[in-house]
Structure 1
Amino acid sequence: MKKITGSTLLWHFLLWTTVDAQTRYSIPEELKKGSVVGNVARDLSLGLSEIFERNLRVASEAGKQYFSVDAGKGELLVSDRIDREALCGQSATCVLPLQVVVEKPLNLHRIEVDIKDINDNSPRFHTNELSLKIAESAAVGTRFLLESAEDLDIGSNSVKTYTLAKNECFTLKVKEVEDGKLVPELVLQKPLDREKKSSHQLQLTALDGGNPVMSGTTQITVAVLDNNDNFPVFDKNLYKASLQENVAKDAFVLKITATDADEGQNGEVEYFFSTRTLDSVLSVFKLNSQTGEIFLKGDLDYEKAASYKIEVTAKDKGTPEMESHCRVQIDVIDINDNAPEIILTSEPQPVREDAPSGSVVALLTSRDADSGNNSKVTLQLAKGSPFILKPSFSNNYALVTTGVLDRESTSQYNIEIIASDAGSPPLSSNKMIRVSITDVNDNRPVFSQSSYNVYLKENGVAGSILYSVSANDPDAGENAKVSYSIVDSKVHDVSVSSYVYVNSENGSIYSMHSFDYEKVKVFRVQVEAKDQGSPSLSSNATVHVFILDQNDNAPAVIYPSPHAASHLRVPRSAKAGHLLTKVTAVDADSGHNAWISYKVAEATDASLFTINLYTGEVRTKRAVYEHDDSSQKLIVEVKDDGEPVQSATVTLSILLEDGVSEPVLELRHKASEPGKKGGRITLYLIVALASVSVLSLLTLLVLGVKCVKSSTSGATCCVRRTLSDDDKKPNRNLHIQLNTDGPIKYVEVLGGDVMSQSHSFRSCMSPMSEYSDFTLVKPSSTTDFKEVISVLDASLPDSTWTFESQQVSQNCGKKKDEF
């Protein structure tokens, strides 16, 4: 086999054209490795930088990779030896289809490389020596068929003529059969005379049409025989038959028939496959030499051979033997015995969940080894996935998105592609393609609750944990990492960040310092949860912090002043029950911690004076005797009802004198004098309360109307109060809090929003006293009545929220009004 070299011949074949949007190159076979086929990057309008950036590569549809791409120049290079005869045999055309794949975005180009034949094969005879037996009686002009030479090249490079070496008896004729094949025939030009010469040595040469011309020779030995002057004659020159490729072994194919006009053994005919018959044919068919019947011996496969052309020889048994030849053509009928195949041209790439509809995910193609309708393949997707197959050219498809993707609902798709051919019955195959969906930051963190209520005892340790909030983000990776922060706001004109701080990683909220219920009763913290995506998303939750009161304030005596010395004058004529004075104290705490009781801690004469446990009224226990000391001293202890108990004391100095007027009359006289200080205070308080707290007065009026017994009976009027739907609204609604735990009775009238500031006043009225007074206690912040209820219910007895008719010695009410 001779290889063609030289740049002149190479560039003569190196041509390309574009047909139907496909690029075609033409090259001769047997090019050296590294030879340039064409500039793919230029022909596909790609820059050299795009070769690297878009990962340009070449895939062969023929299976073996014969070409590669020079990444530096964008040239298509020969990477392996190309033998046209091995690839395409005797086919008139030999085209290698290539697929050029570029990524980012994915694109597919089809390139065809036409392999041109070169004269690299010499004509060859099946054997180097041929033997002919010719009767000496053979007539001049008789023709004897000779073996044809085979040339693997095609076209002008195949066998074009035969020559016969010069001799005295024979000449050569060449005839063309129906498929254009040249067959040499030996023509007897001069009668044979066995007695003169029994054999002739001839040389037959086959020449092709290449440049330079290549040739092959065989030696012919002609043996001159005695007369057997009739050849077997076939009834047809060409026999044809068709078989389906799935026909069973030993099936009958066809029968050939030849007759010989001679008699005896000269007329008995036997049949043989030509000596030139290929082994691939002999392994599939067998011939009965006596009957001329051909049977199937092996398996037929249309995909390997669609047709068989066999030469059969008929010989008689005469001496010399006479023979003739015929041709048998057996066509194989294709059946649908090959399932279609799905080939991924480009592996699927991960797809962002916000990818627009129509985004290319993967490239694929299909093929079927059958022919006709059996090779027509249809691809379809199983239902239920947001993808479709978009046909490209030939049997190439693009897998593209058709709808919105959501990684949080489906992070990966296993897409089943089904390929079906058009055969009868149709065959199908499937292929699973896995497509991963990558996350984008399209979900905000979500708190477990929109708001939280936290109850915290006052005077806690600074830095203690208040509560832990948590937010979940259904995204993945950095998009799901949540950090927490405090949204800046004001509490009593102070930044909330000075009250609490939050752990940015776990959402735990810590106190910055100890809280004082008497300063701050409730405040609101807004926590922001933000993810780490780009751009980041966030959401907020509100934490309501309620400070619970502790008994951390001792009662404070406001009358008489514990800092100013005062002497009480009592007439010796005073009877039992005589009112000396009234000790008044307040407690900055709330609830039980603010319930105050009075008792005599120490007295000069314990039998002479007594103090009311709840009102603080100091009275004589008995009549004053003449022998009682004129100077008496009482130490009054004031205690709250908290845990632990807090207390304070006040000392009363009492002078027993003769001729002192009744204090009650004096007190009443002072109350009737508008110019006096005590009367003015009482008047101002009553006017202020009446003007700014109409709601409180209406409430007291309602309570008075609902009393079932008159106030003269000494009983209190009580009703049960429950929360209604209106109470639950965060408006300025009226909330009534009744406390009847123990002898002390008081009412709280609450109004205002959760976060509003209000002023609270306590009104203490003693129906059994000779006079009552109003005392302004302190301004305070009120909380949502629902929240207070839930806290107090856990610690107070059931009777706390129920009025009952009870005979008591005192009645104390508390009311709160919001300005």
Structure 2
Amino acid sequence: MPERLAEMLLDLWTPLILLWITLPPCIFMAPMNHSQVLMSGSPLELNRLGEEQRILNRSKRGWVWNQMFVLEEFSGPEPILVGRLHTDLDPGSKKIKYILSGDGAGTIFQINDVTGDIHAIKRLDREEKAEYTLTAQAVDWETSKPLEPPSEFIIKVQDINDNAPEFLNGPYHATVPEMSILGTSVTNVTATDADDPVYGNSAKLVYSILEGQPYFSIEPETAIIKTALPNMDREAKEEYLVVIQAKDMGGHSGGLSGTTTLTVTLTDVNDNPPKFAQSLYHFSVPEDVVLGTAIGRVKANDQDIGENAQSSYDIIDGDGTALFEITSDAQAQDGIIRLRKPLDFETKKSYTLKVEAANVHIDPRFSSRGPFKDTATVKIVVEDADEPPVFSSPTYLLEVHENAALNSVIGQVTARDPDITSSPINHSQISRVPVAIKVLDVNDNAPEFASEYEAFLCENGKPGQVIQTVSAMDKDDPKNGHYFLYSLLPEMVNNPNFTIKKNEDNSLSILAKHNGFNRQKQEVYLLPIVISDSGNPPLSSTSTLTIRVCGCSNDGVVQSCNVEAYVLPIGLSMGALIAILACIILLLVIVVLFVTLRRHKNEPLIIKDDEDVRENIIRYDDEGGGEEDTEAFDIATLQNPDGINGFLPRKDIKPDLQFMPRLQKRVARRNITRCCLKRKTTESNGFNELRGQDEKSK
């Protein structure tokens, strides 16, 4: 230990001594700035300063001293001499006093006011403070007048190698892909040294690896760490610990050093193919297993990890490629064999498959090593199971005619037991099959009108005019659709009034042969029509069309088909007459009730003469509608409505439909209203006259 300390001191003092000898003296002259003093001083002070300035300007002298340095971390029994202040004004008469002020004056640095020697009285640390700025001043010992302008100078703290390098961010971690080539950069580390990087080699660092060879190397100056061996295999060793040293003094002896650790992890690359754990797999499965059921699992191991270990599975050969499939399980990294189609033990009892496992992510750098895949053989044995019977067909379609006799045989279905034992059909295993029975049509229904038709013929119609269009229907269902034939009865072929015409849409039109039909002569015509189908044998039926003769407007709109309505001169129907009579009866009832109530209410117990005149005055308006009232309604119509103009209608045929012109309806309503009003007025007048006579008699 003492030898090492002596060696360190020798290395430290040697450059300092050489520097001390070779450096020439330095002269610093700093003129005093009196501007602030002149601005704030008194007149006496201004005169004194002016005199001092005159003296200073007259003398051409200045401070003389060498560059001052002080060694850090120096400790001894006596204060260390830093340097000496001297001015050429000092003749050695000891009349000059030296004064020191500034950073550390009196606390760190002390000056001999007679000789100007400056000593360091405390231990200094350059890393704490590298230099100090002080001010030197020479004054007269007796008068304390300045002999020189104050001058600043610097005392620098001389660095020594007292700080070892440090790795502030350690320990370190880094990764590098496995199988990397020689010299692949891993990372770089940096150490710091608190010593002066400018002076000497105290902060000049050199890096080296103490532990981690021969796998890694480091550049001495840049601290870049690289791989020192090519193709390091993660599967052989995944993690490495590297110890790194940083040494100052350029790596020479006597330098200080610091160390740190670096953990290097090899990351995985896909450099290994998958490999099946075994070359042959055996599985057994019952023949009645449900489709999609997992039969077994195969697994190919891969030494890689993560996505580099992912493999896909396929069936590449074998006699069961159509019956089985294999899927990949991403979690377990194995292949699952499943059933795609039903198995039959009686048909085939075993199958052989060749499965393949291949890496999903291929690294082209390692393709030269060969295919990253592996194959294995899978044998599947089918086991017998008690199966349900099997029908000879999956579905059956049977046909039967609709007129088939009871207990007729429609068809048959057959089933067999697929098991080897060919056991008879039992109740423990049940199979079902759909059987459809189609009923075939037989022509056993005759065609007929699609609905109950009733035609209307206008009296003013024209020859050839279509009276009605009818269509037919048939309950049977022929294969080629319905086709009907229409004809008249043989005795109606020469019908003078009507004829028929077949239309393209399988319908029939009835036409009038002439005009001049009169409902007074004949109101209703019956036309039988024969309808035949196209069946084998064909069937037919006769449907009768009722044709009524009606009164129509000029544009062909049917207005009335009733003979009674036709003979009424004023257009009043029986319904209108009944309404009029009901109105009259209702008015009579109201009048009687009104008179009765009024008499019971207004009759006095004693009648006075002077009241008779006033109460028996009756006012009424006998002005009516003139001729309109007298001609509005003929009472004879009510007494004998059938005897108008001496015409009596037919009683053997009563019309079902009655069509009245709109104008006649409005006239009937107006006449009814006027009749009722006139009747009410007449009855009211008669009532008042009778009451007056009764009052006079009283």
User: Same fold judged by TM-score > 0.5?
Assistant: no
Larger Rg: 2
TM-score, scaled relative to structure 2: 0.38
Q: Which one has a larger percent strand, Structure 1 or Structure 2?
A: 1
Larger relative contact order (Cα-Cα within 8 Å, sequence gap ≥ 6): 2
